[in-house]
Amino acid sequence: MTSSTGRSLPELIGGADERGLAAAGLACLDRCLPLLAPDRTEVLRPVWAAVARGDGGAWSEAVAGARVELDGAGGGAAGDGGVVTMVRALLDGVPAAWAEEPLRTWAERCSAVALAVHRLYDVNEDGPLHAGELRRQLAVLDSVAHGPTGLRRARELSTEGGRVLRAVVSRRARTA
């Protein structure tokens, strides 16, 4: 699958700047956050604000604040197939430095983990949940390539994706 610009996900990540990489990784984390802390979905709002400003100092401070707020979240989730551990690793792996290489490494990892999480909850290996996550990742990177104005769309896509994943998990829990 390619983006509206005809570029693949690895190409988009490879060509993104610091803001794009931070937004891409943060969007993946944001969509998966309901699995770790369903009642704290707004905890990443200050991190989004730091991305909008492109401010490394604000980024480091906001990331540290989110980690403190989410300390211990998801600790009692037994039988989740390791999903909470995967999402926790995304949060723990957020680079404190606003620098291209650590952000790129983190964005690539976030992309892979978010796709894996969605695949775990899907009906088959490449089902609609996984395909939807891939589409959202491509759309986020396309949106943020146009500068800070694309962040609003990226945040909307993340909110939508989080709702979809939360609904799937809830439905699965009810039928289990």
Question: SS3 breakdown of the chain: % helix, strand, coil, rounded to 5?
Answer: 70, 0, 30
Q: Is residue 72 part of a domain?
A: yes
Across residues 144-149, what is the average pLDDT?
A: 86
In this prediction, residue 78 carries a pLDDT of 46
Q: Is residue 81 part of a domain?
A: yes
Token reading at 158: 């993340």
Q: Is residue 2 part of a domain?
A: no
Question: In whole angstroms, what is the distance from residue 85 CA to residue 121 CA?
Answer: 15
Which residues form the domain of 16?
9-175
- From the list 165, 153, 167, 141, the residue with the least C-alpha distance to 2 is 141
Q: Is residue 3 part of a domain?
A: no
Contacts by 118-125, CB closer than 8 A, 24 or more apart: 118/165, 120/81, 120/83, 121/165, 121/168, 121/169, 121/172
Q: What is the pLDDT of residues 85-104, one digit of tens each?
A: 999 999 999 999 999 999 99
Question: In whole angstroms, what is the distance from residue 122 CA to residue 155 CA?
Answer: 23
In this prediction, residue 47 carries a pLDDT of 97
Question: In whole angstroms, what is the distance from residue 27 CA to residue 53 CA?
Answer: 16
Q: Is residue 86 part of a domain?
A: yes
Q: Is residue 1 part of a domain?
A: no
Q: What is the pLDDT of residues 12-34, one digit of tens each?
A: 999 999 999 999 999 999 999 99
Domains: count for the chain: 1
Q: Is residue 97 part of a domain?
A: yes
What's the pTM value of the predicted model, to 2 decimals? 0.92
Q: Is residue 103 part of a domain?
A: yes
